[in-house]
Amino acid sequence: MCGLAGALLKEPGSVPVGELRRRATAMAAILHHRGPDGYGVWADSHVALAHTRLAIIDTTNAASQPMHDVTHTVHIVFNGEIYNFMDLRAELKADGYQFQNRSDTEVLVNGYRKWGTDLFSKLVGMFAIAIWDSQRHRLVLARDRFGEKPLYYADRPDAMVFGSEIKALLTWPNMPRRPDMAALHDYLTFGFTMGPGTAFEGIGRLQPAHFLVYDPGKKPVIERYWQMPLPGDRPVSGSDEDLKQELIERLRHAVRSCLVSDVPLGAFLSGGVDSSAVVAMMSASHGAGIKTFSSGFGFGDYDETRYATMVAERYGTDHRVFTFDSNLLRSMGDLAWHYGEPFSDSSALVTYALSRETRRSVTVALTGDGADETLLGYARYFAYGDMRRSNPPRGTRILEGLYMAPPRGIEARVAGTDAYGFLLERYREAQKVVGYGDAMLPYLGHCSYERLLPYFAEGVMPEEAAARFDQATYLPDDLLIKVDIAAMAHGLETRAPFLNHELAEWVATIPPDRKIWGREGKALLKSALEPHLPHECMYRTKVGFRVPVAKFMKDEIRSQTDEILLGDRFLDRGIIRADFIKEMLTSHRSGAMEHGTRLWSLLCLEMWYRTWIDSDSNRRLEGDDDPFATFSDGGSSKVHQSASVHGSESAGMVSMDSD
């Protein structure tokens, strides 16, 4: 896993090669955290490619990037892992293609020579790829099926610029830094910006399962190369016991494919079903001693580390538990810089800190991401089913007359998307009407729910339809970007076996009523795992990596919250009216109404503005610009680690600096 960036000039030679190489080097430098093991830059009169390397497979210099084929006409930079690269390599070698190293990157180089853009549908893995085909004078960008690896681009007057993170594009001369207010309208609705756009005008993200072909002088062409099958597309036979056995075998195969590595490897272990299942399957291949890592806050519903410890003891893992506190908030400035967009998923704080500690021991960590969206694990899926099955169905727009009329003839789709949008939204319609400031008022007539319309699936159970909304939006634009950015900030690669597309395709063809029953999310998975995991780890309320930001804004960061949200700097942006912010703060702190996620989204938005809109320095916030930099709750500013080696008794509590 690595970082990639580059640019294709609209007019060859319009930028001297030396200057083009310098620009590419700057792009690589700002992505150094993604690839601390080295970097490479290649440029000619047409294009520049930049790469920062995190060496995972074939750690020798022979596998460095940018990489070129033997004819020097195919040039590539690549971020990710191709799990079936050995099978593809054998097929290509049988056809006479030559290989100089053991990397999966060289398989992509020769695979493109043989199959062109048909290559992407043959890949099993996670990837963002940029290919310069100098023979055809063509740039090709591609992204994996679920969006595990990010890829951004900007079609500028002088060049097509691209990179693994937005900050790489912002190093390009004269790149505009204007907020896309329509995207911020969606951000206030959902808590994240939704592709294919971004929070910046003129910067887009390549959608999952798509590739882009750009021939200079023509408009970019974007095509989808993969689509998740629907239930019934492929007949599923066998008893429930047969399904459970096959699910375990397919999951075991998916996990095994993720274990190919020339560097130390471990797993995040939250204590929930999904990460515990991954650890159980890892143990079947690797035995005892796998390094596992979990985190918590040590109080209330924000700590499920005891469940993680139960799984670790069962499988004899080398387990580390990290207990965090409110001093995590000192990372707010770092997160605003790393994410590059307003991002209000508070669990990013924990993922960022846990990734930092995990990286001290391993370079690769497996996760349980993707199981909820494919095996129907969220409680909101059942709530959505109830809404759609009610008579009449619930979920129509409350302020119908406020919005522009949707296209005629799609009333059923609009009703379906409105219902799910209602379950996801943070700022309610009525709150926007009374709370929006001058800058946001023009967007009141646009319903963010309609962003879900392209992903509405006809003829499926509501629970399945809800999951497909998440697979297209919440999964790539929130969960996966959260983990990628937080982990890669520390040079840690993460892999998600549940997102092996062969496993996910098989799961998708199972009728929903055979995946869930009795309103038990992921019932098929849990039942299949009963011989492998403790019962109480599976049949309990879902928690996950959560951060008590609602409490923090009442107590620990009360003054910082007031300083930021009621300060002239934020209010002058015209996002939310001052009176409405005061009303939310008073109501939240009195306990009259919970506004934690809404207030938190505004804090994250202001940190983004200060980092990327107010300044063109491309640096982290400094001094008074970062009100969290010197935050301390007055207690110990330590991360506490307890170690349970090979399932033995705790080795005690030790303190580790959180810097």
- Residue listed under structure tokens 């199959």: 115
pLDDT for res 298: 62
What is the rounded distance in angstroms from the CA atom of residue 522 to the CA atom of residue 467?
A: 12
- The secondary element (H helix, E strand) that includes residue 121 is none
pLDDT for res 637: 38
DSSP assignment letter at 623: G
**Can you give the length of the chain in residues?**
659
pLDDT for res 103: 93
CB atoms within 10 A of CB 97: 18
Question: In terms of C-beta distances under 8 Å and separation of at least 24 residues, what long-range contacts does 427-432 make, across chains too?
Answer: 427/188, 427/189, 427/598, 427/601, 428/398, 429/397, 429/398, 429/399, 429/402, 430/398, 430/399, 431/580, 431/598, 432/188
What is the rounded distance in angstroms from the CA atom of residue 570 to the CA atom of residue 342?
A: 14
pLDDT for res 543: 61
For the chain (659 residues), the mean pLDDT of every run of 10, in chain order, is 94 97 98 96 97 92 92 96 97 94 95 98 98 97 98 97 98 97 97 97 98 94 96 84 97 96 94 95 89 82 81 96 92 97 96 97 97 96 94 71 64 84 91 96 90 90 96 98 98 98 96 92 97 90 73 93 97 98 97 95 98 96 92 57 43 27
What is the rounded distance in angstroms from the CA atom of residue 66 to the CA atom of residue 320?
A: 37
Side chain identity at residue 294, one-letter code: S
CB atoms within 10 A of CB 536: 10
**CB-based contact 9:159 (threshold 8 Å):** yes
Pair type for strands 125-133 and 138-143:
antiparallel
Nearest to 548, CA basis, from 608, 592, 597: 597
What is the rounded distance in angstroms from the CA atom of residue 288 to the CA atom of residue 282?
A: 9
Q: Which residues contact 348 (CB under 8 A, 6 or more apart)?
A: 335, 339, 482, 485, 486
Structural domains for the chain: 2-224 (3.60.20.10), 240-376+473-546+641-647 (3.40.50.620), 379-468 (no CATH), 549-625 (no CATH)
What is the rounded distance in angstroms from the CA atom of residue 151 to the CA atom of residue 135?
A: 24
Nearest to 490, CA basis, from 625, 324, 659: 659
Which 3-state string (H, E, C) describes 243-310? Answer: HHHHHHHHHHHHHHHCCCCCCCEEEECCCCHHHHHHHHHHHHHHCCCCEEEEEECCCHHHCCHHHHHH
**CB-based contact 71:55 (threshold 8 Å):** no
pLDDT for res 630: 87
Torsion angles phi and psi, residue 222, rounded to 5: -115, 130
Side chain identity at residue 299, one-letter code: F
pLDDT for res 652: 25
pLDDT for res 395: 72
DSSP assignment letter at 179: B
**CB-based contact 326:301 (threshold 8 Å):** no
Q: Per the structure block, which two tokens stand in for 541?
A: 């309320």
Facing residues of 40 across strands?
51
pLDDT for res 653: 24
* Nearest 10 degrees: Cα torsion 292, 298, 300, 306: 40
Sign of CA dihedral 166, 190, 185, 431: negative
Q: Per the structure block, which two tokens stand in for 656?
A: 């580790």
Model pTM above 0.85: yes
